[in-house]
Every structure is written in C-alpha cells, then in structure tokens.
Amino acid sequence: MRVFRNRKASRNYFFIQELEAGIVLEGTEIKSIRAGKLSFKDSYGKIENGEIWLCNLHISSYEHSGAFGHEPERKRKLLLNKREIRKLTQKVEEKGFTLIPKEIYINEKGLVKVKLAIARGKRLYDKRETIRKKDELKDLERKLKIT
C-alpha cells in the first residue's frame, strides 16, 4: 500500500477527528497518483450543497496521456455517507475548524482513499512549543543513545 502524507499539516494544525473518504478521479489521475506526482500544498476540504469537495490538490498530468490529460488542480468530489457529511458540516461550521487532507493512499483493492481531518489552525506560539518539545525529545534520545 502506497501512502502519501501531508507533512505540513501536522505542523500547521491541531487534529480533532479523522475519517476516511473515497475520491472521484478522472482518466489518468490514478496513474499520476501511482507515480507519486501529487502535492498537498494549500489543499483543503470544502462543503458545497451537501457534498464535500477537495480543493487545490495538485495531481500532475500523466506524461503519456497525450491530448486526453486532466486538469491538475480541479475540485475533486469526496465520497461519504449523508450522515457523515451532516456531522462534518456541523463541526466545520464551528468557529476555527476546517477540513484538511492528511494522507492519500491506494488500498488493497486498488482504490484511492483520502484520510481527512477536522483541524484547527495553530498559532505561532503553538508551533514554537511543538518544535521545542520535538527538540527536547531528540536531545533525550541522543543522551540515552550515548550512555
């Protein structure tokens, strides 16, 4: 199973809840994903008319597609139950919450899945605190390794 992670997401957001969703792809997008040609930069989930859309996920054009390629940054529909969409809508309407794709992977059946997270943005001092804790853990591991 190939997993592509949004590494900047954990640096910029606190994750409240996670869920898995399918994604609607067109034509050569699956081949580009299998080749690892995707970027999470500034991607987010958006709720419109009772549907959830993934915006700004960049899936590069497949090099052997010729004239039948796809648009790299189009909105892509996410596949969820109505009940799950209702719960997400309630959460996201609360102040400060947003939908962020944490990772995209291809499961055993060959289907592309997106792990979405309901997240709240970190402030600058939160980011500094996270970095400080990470540095302390590294220092502790080095000391334990030396002795």
List, as one string, the DSSP characters of 85-113.
HHHHHHHHHSTTEEEEEEEEEE-TTS-EE
Q: Secondary structure of the chain: what % helix, strand, coil (to 5)? A: 35, 35, 30
Query: Partners of 53 in the beta sheet?
Result: 46, 77
Q: What b/e readout covers 127-143, taking b as 16+ CB neighbours within 10 angstroms?
A: eeeeeeeeeeeeeeeee
**Number of separate domains in the chain:** 1
pTM of the model: 0.78
Question: Could you report the per-residue pLDDT of 27-85, keeping only the tens digit for each?
Answer: 788 888 888 888 888 888 888 888 999 999 888 877 776 666 667 778 889 999 999 88
Please check whether residue 50 is in contact with residue 34, taking contact to mean a CB–CB distance below 8 angstroms: no
Cβ neighbours of residue 26 under 8 Å, at least 6 residues apart? 70
Is residue 110 one of the residues assigned to a domain?
yes
Confidence band for 114, pLDDT divided at 50, 70 and 90: very high
**42: number of Cβ within 10 Å:** 11
Domain containing residue 29: CATH number: 2.40.280.10
Higher pLDDT, 56 or 1: 56
Phi first, then psi: what are they for 33, rounded to 5°?
-65, -45
Provide the residue range defining the domain that includes 63: 3-121
Does residue 51 lie within any of the structural domains? Answer: yes
Least confident span in 50-54, 63-67, 87-91, 129-133: 63-67
Specify if 136 maps to a domain.
no
Instruction: Please report whether residue 34 resides in a domain.
Output: yes
Neighbours of 64 (CB within 10 A): 8
Structure confidence at residue 139 (pLDDT): 92
Asked whether residue 61 is domain-assigned, the answer is yes
Residue 127 lies in a domain: no
